[in-house]
Amino acid sequence: MMSEKATFGAGCFWGVEATFREIDGVTEAAVGYEGGHTSNPTYKDVCTDRTGHAEVVQVEYDPAKVSYEKLLEVFWNAHDPTQVNRQGPDVGTQYRSVIFYHSPEQEQIARASKAKLEASGRYRRRIATEIVPAQTFYRAEEYHQQYLAKRGLRHCHI
């Protein structure tokens, strides 16, 4: 089995990770930080809103079982992509809506998916989601991995 990676930022990473883990074909989902300018940031660092990182979920998936298009559909439905640097009560650049693509094909598919969503009229406001090349993924501290599952919860406060 060849697995591929997809990386998404959609607000607080706990709920996003739990959502992706439920998808058939997703073999792993890890929370972490990406897109900033500080090496090896901690959660505390990222929460200062000064490292430039987004809270993200890096998904490993089997493309024979689940398409990148399907993962994008889950991403769009997991948050409000019109929000800039916030989701629900969480505010800051680390909560921005972002797709980090790992190949030219992912970039093309993500851009087409965003354009289709914008044209659908589903949202009155513009889609704020950034689509940028994957950068270094810093895995979050172990206590953040499967945070909700460890506490017997299915979703966050939203």
Supply the mean pLDDT for the chain: 93
pTM for this prediction: 0.93
The least confident of 19-23, 79-83, 150-154 is 150-154
How far does Cα 120 stand from its chain's mean position? 22
- DSSP secondary-structure letter at 75? H
What amino acid is encoded at 62 in this protein? D
Q: How far apart are CA 144 and CA 38, in angstroms?
A: 19
Judge contact between 30 and 58, C-beta under 8 A. yes
Query: Locate tokens 């089995």: which residue?
Result: 1
pLDDT tens digits, one per residue of 91-130: 999 999 999 999 999 999 999 999 999 999 999 999 999 9
Strand partners, 86: 91
Question: Tell me, what's the pLDDT at 155?
Answer: 64
Domain annotation for the chain: domains and CATH numbers: 4-150 (3.30.1060.10)
pLDDT digits (tens, 9 = 90+) for 35-93: 999 999 999 999 999 999 999 999 999 999 999 999 999 999 999 999 999 888 889 99
HSE at residue 111, side-chain half, CA atoms within 13 A, is: 9
Phi/psi-derived region of residue 25, left when phi > 0, alpha when psi is between -120 and 50, beta in every other case:
left
| Residues labelled as active-site residues | 12
